[in-house]
Amino acid sequence: MRILFYLLSIVIANVVTAAFAPIQFGAFIVPMGTLFVGATFIFRDLVQNKYGRGKTYVFIFTALILSAIVSYLLGDTLMIVAASAISFLVAETTDTEIYSRLKLSFAWRVFCSGIVGGLLDSVIFVIIGLSPLGAGFLPWEAVPAAILGQFIVKTIIQMIGALILSQIHGIKDKQVVA
């Protein structure tokens, strides 16, 4: 089930991003799919927690291919597909490696690794995919706000996910002790 949620969150993020216009909060620009991108890091951590780091890379590669196919089928430009694939690969790999090495509670590992993954995903995707360097959808002046907006939303999703996982994990620990 974890693998299915992981893969679905990636597909849904692509579909929602393509189907809905970005939201603007003041200076911040946030594609609607960002809500689901934040969740992908949580689901990937759940997959890694169950299947280990080695198998997780198989699922990341599968998700990468699936994401690229969905983006292409949705009519995204080649630059957007490439930006999505590169940012996904870098962010998911970094998240995986940080999650593996942290000696913290499960919820803190999810939160900390997701923060770094979310930041990398936001920076790389916006610069390669949306800036004048990429597809040119955003002027350079709007790039920092786009990066920050996505990062803030992903961080909030990570925080909510970590809090929920902390509660669930805490309940499971109490049941084992009882």
Determine the average pLDDT of the residues in 61-84.
90
**Per-residue pLDDT, 133:** 93
Q: How confident is the model at residue 63 (pLDDT cuts 50, 70, 90)?
A: very high
User: Is the pTM higher than 0.85?
Assistant: yes
Q: Decide if pLDDT at 27 tops 80.
A: yes
Determine the average pLDDT of the residues in 14-33.
87
At residue 121, φ and ψ (nearest 5 deg) are -60, -45
**Per-residue pLDDT, 17:** 86
Q: Decide if pLDDT at 135 tops 80.
A: yes
pLDDT tens track for 107-123: 999 999 999 999 999 99
The torsion of the CA quartet 148, 162, 157, 14, rounded to 10 degrees, works out to 110
Q: Decide if pLDDT at 177 tops 80.
A: no
Per-residue exposure over 8-44, b if at least 16 CB sit within 10 Å of its own CB, e if not: bbbbbbbbbbbeeebeeeeebbbbbbbbbbbbbbbbb
Domains of the chain are 1-176 (1.10.1760)
Q: Decide if pLDDT at 93 tops 50.
A: yes
